[in-house]
Structure 1
Amino acid sequence: MSTPIASLDVDLAYQKAILGSVSRTFALTIPLLPPEIEKVVGNTYLLCRIVDTIEDAADLNPETKQILSRLFLDAVLEKSSVQSFVDPCLSALQGYGNQDELDLIAHTPTVLRILHTCSSKDQAAISRCVSIMSEGMSHFHGKQTQAGLKDLQEFEKYCYVVAGVVGELLTTVFSNNSPTFAKSIQGQEILAIAFGQALQMTNILKDSPEDQARGVSWKPANIDQATLLKISYEKLQDSMRYILLIPKEDIGIRRFCFLAFGLAVMTLSKIANCKNFDHKDEVKLSRKTVMAFYAFTKIAVGSDTLMKIFFNTASSSLKNCSRT
């Protein structure tokens, strides 16, 4: 059944507004995409954010998180009603402090109505992404410890299910809407996973003091910070290769990816220079830095050379980590 235009406009207005409330970074990057892709990527982000909210709820035990994740996935895949997820989820999260994320969960029906206006190819890609993320995070709910994940292999797997799969989703959506990109990425799709993982590793390292404070670590146990920064740098190198494969005529896609990438590069560089920090605000980029880079991307994305110069310059401290 098609959604009336007026109703869709109201739903999309909500999607845009709540995106600005739950993510400063993605509220900046997603509108750079062409309108049809912006709708799909914005919608996917909100669905993933609902999964993240369940994950971040410190008061919920792993079993409750797994139940809610399953109810959410069933609602997305239309195996059960949306309300059969919303009601128990809001009930379980009564003590949750982030009102914007609670509002998003209450508006899950809105988010799913938008999903069902996307093309069948895009819907299939979104459903795959949300399924892998939801089931993957359910798997890791029971592995939350203060010591961290078992090893590097488990760390890579975690970064895949929460972000590498998003890189795959973006690649599919971009390819569905850009035949030129679909041709250029062929045979190098693995770079998309590195792009997503690089962004996730940035978040894990940045948020590690707060995670430790609530008795959790998503870093691999017995692996030092320098090694993690070296791995992150390697992922960033692959991410740069990925962005360079995006045709210059797909300027919105290029700028979306380069902006997210550049913010990750600068954040990881601050972490590398900081050595030890007790709060993520110590390595958080200032609004002035973010907006200056935002302006720079408008020029840089038209030049492969400029993008490479930025990466080589901004990642110098990370490069030094990888040599030690």
Structure 2
Amino acid sequence: MPDPARAVLLGPLLKSVSRSFYITMRVLPAGMRDPIGLAYLLARAADTIADTSLIAPGQRMELLLSLRNQVNGAPDEAALTRMAAEVGSQQADSDEKVLLESLGAALTVLSQMSESDREAVRDIVSTLTKGMEFDLHTFPDESSGRIVALREFSELDQYTYMVAGCVGEFWTKMTYAHVPGAFRGNPEVVLSRGIRFGKALQMTNVLRDCGKDLRIGRCYLPSTMLDQFGLSPQDLLLPQTSLAARPLLFELVGKTLDHFREAVEYTLSLPAFAIRLRLACLWPVLIGLETLLLLVSNDEWLDPAKVSKIRRGDVYRIIAFSVPLVASNRLLRLWMERRISGIEGHIRS
């Protein structure tokens, strides 16, 4: 008999807090949906705790680490109550509040999963929360008026692994576990491509959200790269800097496209008959490439009021166009390579 609490968590609640990700979730093979959906909910709750700026960073860190410990099997009812009360009360979005109030039920669902799925969810949530912990340790309080930049590109690369590359790794492991034989090719190569897939999406987010992040003191663009172009993190707040910083943007977009090429190969390594898996991979690739195209075409990319965000109608257009093409490697490759070429054309012009 179906568990009503589990059905609500992984149905209406997941849909309410995941937006476009829920579309991807619905096309996944059945066995993958619950562990991936639950991992998303736990990570989303952790992210809400880490990002609630009205709560002091030290308090956020304490609750974040407590949630990680509970995911890993150390219950703490008092801490769950604090999360719902202290963090939940600060949420303008009622769905986020409900999510925080549902953490006890989510942890119960986790305990009922198979051992392999449970350990995989624990691993991914632990790594993701380390990325959130990195943010809280590295950057100042959002209201401090200060900006801190990462130092080297290697720091940014490691960060993109902790907050997204590990998701590609988790997704790949879930696919191997629940859809045996789904991938063609060397498993180590496939796993590496899965990691780079996640990094591609996170690099896109970093570049798209740069203007907004700067205004809460976070500069993910490495200072050594800024130095090469005669820029400082504070310069990036000035309206005229968007044009001056385009060479830096283009260099980072180039690195992101290298990741996307691996994401394309990852997607096409799935057999043509794996329609659901292909679509679940194809949509984020195409949406990410559309976002990069908007970014390199945006002369005001650092202005948070002019964010390069793909419209909902364009998302639906991508979904509609992709379905009849999904089984054709030739047509999919042509579509994605044209998008990449269009982005590179803007970089070279």
TM-score by length of 2: 0.85
Q: 1:73 to 1:174 in 2, by over 3 A?
A: same
Larger Rg: 2
The AA in structure 2 aligned to 1:296 is: F
**How far apart are 1:136 and its partner, in Å?**
3.4
Counterpart of 1:310? 335
Structure 2 Cα separation of the partners of residues 58 and 15 of structure 1: 28
| Deviation string, structure 1 residues 110-129 (Cα, Å, up to 9, x no partner) | 22233233322121111111
Deviates more, 1:194-203 or 1:107-116: 107-116
Structure 2 Cα separation of the partners of residues 185 and 322 of structure 1: 33
Is 1:233 matched with 2:233?
no
Indicate conservation of the 8 Å contact 2:206/2:220, yes or no: yes
Indicate conservation of the 8 Å contact 1:191/1:242, yes or no: yes
Structure 1 Cα separation of the partners of residues 202 and 78 of structure 2: 30
Counterpart of 2:299? 275
Structure 2 Cα separation of the partners of residues 33 and 180 of structure 1: 16
Q: 1:55 to 1:306 in 2, by over 3 A?
A: farther
The AA in structure 1 aligned to 2:56 is: N
Counterpart of 2:197? 195
The AA in structure 2 aligned to 1:68 is: L
| Deviation string, structure 1 residues 83-106 (Cα, Å, up to 9, x no partner) | 333222233323333322121111
| Deviation string, structure 1 residues 42-84 (Cα, Å, up to 9, x no partner) | 1111111112112222223332222111100111111123x33
Counterpart of 2:221? 219
Match of 1:68 among 45, 63, 66: 63
- What is the total number of aligned residue pairs between the two structures? 318
Question: Could you list the runs of 5+ residues in structure 1 that have no partner in the other structure?
Answer: none
Is 1:35 matched with 2:30?
yes
Indicate conservation of the 8 Å contact 1:229/1:321, yes or no: no
Q: 1:61 to 1:218 in 2, by over 3 A?
A: farther
**How far apart are 1:23 and its partner, in Å?**
2.3
Is 1:130 matched with 2:125?
yes
Structure 2 Cα separation of the partners of residues 11 and 281 of structure 1: 39
Indicate conservation of the 8 Å contact 1:69/1:135, yes or no: no
**How far apart are 1:239 and its partner, in Å?**
0.7
Is 1:207 matched with 2:209?
yes
Deviates more, 1:37-46 or 1:214-223: 214-223
The 3-state SS of whatever aligns with 1:246 is coil
TM-score by length of 1: 0.91
Counterpart of 2:41? 46
Structure 2 Cα separation of the partners of residues 176 and 127 of structure 1: 16
The AA in structure 2 aligned to 1:216 is: R
The AA in structure 2 aligned to 1:286 is: R
**How far apart are 1:294 and its partner, in Å?**
0.7
**How far apart are 1:182 and its partner, in Å?**
5.3
Any residues of structure 2 matched to 1:109-148 within 5 Å, and which? 109-145=104-140, 146-148=147-149
Counterpart of 2:151? 150
Counterpart of 2:51? 56
The AA in structure 2 aligned to 1:103 is: V
Counterpart of 2:83? 89
Deviates more, 1:175-184 or 1:305-314: 175-184
Indicate conservation of the 8 Å contact 2:283/2:318, yes or no: yes
The AA in structure 2 aligned to 1:88 is: R
**How far apart are 1:322 and its partner, in Å?**
6.1
Counterpart of 2:229? none
Q: 1:243 to 1:58 in 2, by over 3 A?
A: same
Structure 2 Cα separation of the partners of residues 185 and 131 of structure 1: 27
The 3-state SS of whatever aligns with 2:112 is coil
